Chain A
């Protein structure tokens, strides 16, 4: 019998989907594989390709086996195709097909819609690796470097996951889409990544932490809703990806938290009570809290744009078709079809932001965005506890969702972070306090020097409370290759 829990290594591509007996897909993946390896090898600086990194690899998809830690050279990481175990008798959880058995094949009528969703999801995965490619050179510690590479290899694996679905279920079209994933490139003029946030560079480690906290959290929400899909292979793929995605949230939340903790600690040690005494704080080699707020404003609002239009027929169609559910669909107490429900969304009327009720079916994006904001605000609360504990008087907050938006009803309007509509002149005057300026970026960049001694950390960030895999503080998470 086919073993669908343990990862099989009988083909070049580790998998738990029985690839060795699925010759057509195996051939397609093997054809795609060298391109992927080339992409990876061209991307990450050579010295890191040769280094031994303490990474986790899944040896099976059940809880006992999916996080095995060991040293590995990244190009030898076993990227593979891993799906969460099939749930027997699973039903389509929402939309007009609710209660029917989940699809094991793509229904013809939804083929294009489904393909588009998978392509968009897939395109973000390599995009983020591209954005983060040079961060290894300025890692504040070996611990952080290891976390970066863990995020990178897993984003790489998520690309594999989407490519598998494309090649297995979408034939020739799917193969072409898979090839395009490696053709597009973050920030490229000719062939950029599909979503805006994945074409912005990740210039420094604070941006990386903000990115993993805010932008990867969008990824988490999208995966959560795709995990509800009536198309079972997509659901199972996304469910397994979510377990990996949690690590990325962790890197972001603790990275920002450790940065804040260090800033507050240095302020207290030097008797600085005014968090806006920016120059004095910066002179001590830590990132002032108002600048951290500005980075937060930027990354949160860029991530909100990823949710698309507040009212969307595409999203309604995807839900109604049972292709994409809502966040924790199975825990929502309603008819899961949204036949008569309404949902409150933002709109602009006569130059003012107003909230109004619309059919809930059309507001799927808005609802997911609201769930996202709730989820994202949790960590902000934790960061504020760190500040409060130090005695510094300052509180971070999420800006209003109308601020700095390029997509949706607020785009093209000038809102300040409190959600007040203001004139263009006021906006231009205020922006330097709200979003990171070039000078802010230059300052942060000036702190970005690599620390490669085990157990040591750059001066702008504190060590973590707990090591990865319960390792002690001075554990050598990356054995650097010295050429």
Chain B
């Protein structure tokens, strides 16, 4: 079936037909007749060069469509058509293709109900690039995050999308399409990865994003990604995800619980805050679990952050000579601090990592909530409804 996608359009009622956009478009996707200036959905690659040069604001119009409006239709318009109701998409759709939407729903199901975005979150763009029309990213860097001798190989991958528009928010995911075909003879489907860089890029305004990827034995996508070299091209789709997002409200207090590569969105959140409100914010607390320090991604950089920005609890389950400690154990030890957070309506909880962590964390939160006389299930449902409780596990 045809996947819905975002189509770029020009509002004919506002446009003054100066053709500045047409002259600016580097790929000739914009054309005009005596009536209207129009964008060819076939060729537009969302580079956005035409947006700032437009004197009227008429160029910044988008419709989610299943069948793009043809040039002929657009030439005839006297006004823009309304956004058609997409019967199979909810208002906060995480993705427009059913396959991706199902994957995200599965990842978010630990929240115990339909997730909602924080009220003050920026409006995410979804499904700009699809399997049929992916973007091509160029690898800028591939760095091993875990120590050379460590048993796991987790990598920090930097992808450049410079010159293309790929508006991705912290907490959103992108799809990476491994080349080749699977056992069934069909091309590989995209695998989803949470971005670990903030919206303005791994390096501000350099049009790049970073991913945190752990090499899995026999993993088609993870091995493909972990073996990438700078300069290699990668087909990506997305962005996806419309709920696991950072509140823009600087007073929001974040409680982040993660293991392993589940730290990716937390890193993005932290960098976003560091670059915007910095230490003048409601603060962030992170419980980060790994087997040992040498397998904990971003171990070094994390230790350098001031506590007023991010208070970090690193929890290790396999350190010789020490008892095994899991995130829920440390959370229990920090019971008072967490209880105080749970009682504050400005608190937002994010849980990300392997599915196995859910049960223990949930149990601990239940205990702590009850210690302050609140049934956890009810509190969790309220927080979720208010966009303050987010789970993404795999």
- Could you tell me if A246 and B18 are in contact, using CB atoms closer than 8 angstroms? yes
B368-389 CB mask vs A (1 if < 8 Å, else 0) is: 0000000000000000000000
A66 to B49 CA separation, bound complex (whole angstroms) = 11
- Could you tell me if A470 and B60 are in contact, using CB atoms closer than 8 angstroms? yes
Within 8 A of A (CB), among B1-49: 13-14, 16-18, 20, 23-24, 34, 48-49
Q: Which of B16, B20, B52, B60 contacts A242 (CB 8 A)?
A: B20
Is residue B343 contacting chain A, with contact meaning CB distance below 8 A?
no
Interface of A is mostly: helix
Is residue B56 contacting chain A, with contact meaning CB distance below 8 A?
yes
Write out the residue numbers on chain A whose beta carbons fall within 8 Å of the beta carbon of B99.
none
Write out the residue numbers on chain B whose beta carbons fall within 8 Å of the beta carbon of A475.
none
Write out the residue numbers on chain B whose beta carbons fall within 8 Å of the beta carbon of A470.
57, 60
Is residue B231 contacting chain A, with contact meaning CB distance below 8 A?
no
Is residue B81 contacting chain A, with contact meaning CB distance below 8 A?
no
How far in angstroms is the closest Cβ of chain A from B122? Answer: 14
- Could you tell me if B55 and A466 are in contact, using CB atoms closer than 8 angstroms? no
How far in angstroms is the closest Cβ of chain B from A157? Answer: 15
How far in angstroms is the closest Cβ of chain B from A58? Answer: 10
How far in angstroms is the closest Cβ of chain A from B83? Answer: 17
- Could you tell me if B13 and A465 are in contact, using CB atoms closer than 8 angstroms? yes
| Segment of A72-80, A95-103, A247-255, A282-290 engaged in the interface with chain B | A247-255
B57-71 CB mask vs A (1 if < 8 Å, else 0) is: 110100000000000
Within 8 A of B (CB), among A59-79: 62-64, 66-67
Is residue B50 contacting chain A, with contact meaning CB distance below 8 A?
yes
- Could you tell me if B52 and A246 are in contact, using CB atoms closer than 8 angstroms? no
Write out the residue numbers on chain B whose beta carbons fall within 8 Å of the beta carbon of A242.
20, 23
A250 to B14 CA separation, bound complex (whole angstroms) = 9
How far in angstroms is the closest Cβ of chain A from B320? Answer: 53
Known contacts A385-B78, A466-B57; decide if A249 and B18 are in contact (CB<8 Å). Answer: yes
- Could you tell me if B16 and A253 are in contact, using CB atoms closer than 8 angstroms? yes
Write out the residue numbers on chain A whose beta carbons fall within 8 Å of the beta carbon of B103.
none
Write out the residue numbers on chain A whose beta carbons fall within 8 Å of the beta carbon of B53.
63, 66-67, 243, 246
Known contacts A466-B57, A470-B57; decide if A67 and B52 are in contact (CB<8 Å). Answer: yes
Known contacts A242-B20, A246-B18, A466-B14; decide if A63 and B55 are in contact (CB<8 Å). Answer: no
Is residue A379 contacting chain B, with contact meaning CB distance below 8 A?
yes
- Could you tell me if B24 and A254 are in contact, using CB atoms closer than 8 angstroms? no
- Could you tell me if B17 and A378 are in contact, using CB atoms closer than 8 angstroms? yes
- Could you tell me if B16 and A254 are in contact, using CB atoms closer than 8 angstroms? yes
Write out the residue numbers on chain A whose beta carbons fall within 8 Å of the beta carbon of B51.
63
Within 8 A of A (CB), among B286-316: none
Write out the residue numbers on chain A whose beta carbons fall within 8 Å of the beta carbon of B48.
63-64
A436-471 CB mask vs B (1 if < 8 Å, else 0) is: 000000000000000000000000000001111110
- Could you tell me if A250 and B34 are in contact, using CB atoms closer than 8 angstroms? no
A465 to B60 CA separation, bound complex (whole angstroms) = 14
Known contacts A378-B34, A466-B57, A470-B60; decide if A249 and B16 are in contact (CB<8 Å). Answer: yes
A87 to B23 CA separation, bound complex (whole angstroms) = 14
Interface of B is mostly: loop
A243 to B18 CA separation, bound complex (whole angstroms) = 9
Write out the residue numbers on chain B whose beta carbons fall within 8 Å of the beta carbon of A64.
48-49, 52
Within 8 A of B (CB), among A287-328: none
A253 to B52 CA separation, bound complex (whole angstroms) = 19
Is the interface on chain A under 10, 10 to 19, 20 to 34, or 35 or more residues?
Answer: 20 to 34
Write out the residue numbers on chain A whose beta carbons fall within 8 Å of the beta carbon of B34.
378
How far in angstroms is the closest Cβ of chain B from A380? Answer: 12
For A62, A63, A66, A242, the residue with the greatest tally of chain B CB atoms inside 10 Å of its CB is A63
On chain B, the number of residues with a Cβ less than 8 Å from chain A's Cβ atoms is 22
Within 8 A of B (CB), among A212-265: 220, 242-243, 245-247, 249-250, 253-254
B56: nearest chain-A partner, CB-CB: A250
A245 to B55 CA separation, bound complex (whole angstroms) = 9
How far in angstroms is the closest Cβ of chain B from A298? Answer: 21
B51: nearest chain-A partner, CB-CB: A63
Write out the residue numbers on chain B whose beta carbons fall within 8 Å of the beta carbon of A246.
16, 18, 20, 53-55
- Could you tell me if A466 and B58 are in contact, using CB atoms closer than 8 angstroms? yes
Within 8 A of A (CB), among B328-376: none
A466 to B78 CA separation, bound complex (whole angstroms) = 17
- Could you tell me if B52 and A466 are in contact, using CB atoms closer than 8 angstroms? no
Q: Which of B13, B50, B57 contacts A63 (CB 8 A)?
A: B50
Known contacts A63-B53, A64-B52, A378-B34; decide if A243 and B14 are in contact (CB<8 Å). Answer: no
How far in angstroms is the closest Cβ of chain B from A371? Answer: 12
Write out the residue numbers on chain B whose beta carbons fall within 8 Å of the beta carbon of A66.
52-53
A467 to B48 CA separation, bound complex (whole angstroms) = 19
How far in angstroms is the closest Cβ of chain A from B80? Answer: 12
Known contacts A243-B24, A465-B13, A466-B58; decide if A250 and B18 are in contact (CB<8 Å). Answer: yes
A63: nearest chain-B partner, CB-CB: B49
A201 to B52 CA separation, bound complex (whole angstroms) = 32
A470 to B14 CA separation, bound complex (whole angstroms) = 13
A247 to B17 CA separation, bound complex (whole angstroms) = 11
Write out the residue numbers on chain B whose beta carbons fall within 8 Å of the beta carbon of A466.
14, 56-58
Write out the residue numbers on chain B whose beta carbons fall within 8 Å of the beta carbon of A465.
13-14
How far in angstroms is the closest Cβ of chain A from B160? Answer: 15
A139 to B34 CA separation, bound complex (whole angstroms) = 33
Write out the residue numbers on chain A whose beta carbons fall within 8 Å of the beta carbon of B23.
242
How far in angstroms is the closest Cβ of chain A from B51? Answer: 8
A119 to B298 CA separation, bound complex (whole angstroms) = 61
B13: nearest chain-A partner, CB-CB: A465
For B23, B51, B52, B55, the residue with the greatest tally of chain A CB atoms inside 10 Å of its CB is B55
Write out the residue numbers on chain A whose beta carbons fall within 8 Å of the beta carbon of B14.
465-466
How far in angstroms is the closest Cβ of chain B from A90? Answer: 15
- Could you tell me if B57 and A247 are in contact, using CB atoms closer than 8 angstroms? no
How far in angstroms is the closest Cβ of chain B from A39? Answer: 26
Write out the residue numbers on chain B whose beta carbons fall within 8 Å of the beta carbon of A254.
16, 56
Write out the residue numbers on chain A whose beta carbons fall within 8 Å of the beta carbon of B58.
466
A66 to B52 CA separation, bound complex (whole angstroms) = 8
A254 to B48 CA separation, bound complex (whole angstroms) = 24
B60: nearest chain-A partner, CB-CB: A470
For B18, B24, B51, B57, the residue with the greatest tally of chain A CB atoms inside 10 Å of its CB is B18
* Shortest 3 CB-CB contacts between residues of A and residues of B: A63-B49, A246-B18, A247-B55
- Cβ contacts A to B, 28 pairs, < 8 Å: A63-B24, A63-B48, A63-B49, A63-B53, A64-B49, A64-B52, A66-B53, A67-B52, A67-B53, A242-B23, A243-B20, A245-B18, A246-B16, A246-B53, A246-B55, A247-B55, A250-B18, A250-B55, A253-B16, A254-B16, A379-B16, A379-B17, A385-B78, A466-B57, A466-B58, A469-B57, A470-B57, A470-B60
Given A64-B48, A250-B56, 15 new contacts (CB under 8 A): A63-B48, A63-B49, A63-B50, A242-B20, A243-B24, A243-B53, A246-B54, A249-B16, A250-B18, A378-B34, A379-B16, A379-B17, A465-B13, A466-B58, A470-B60
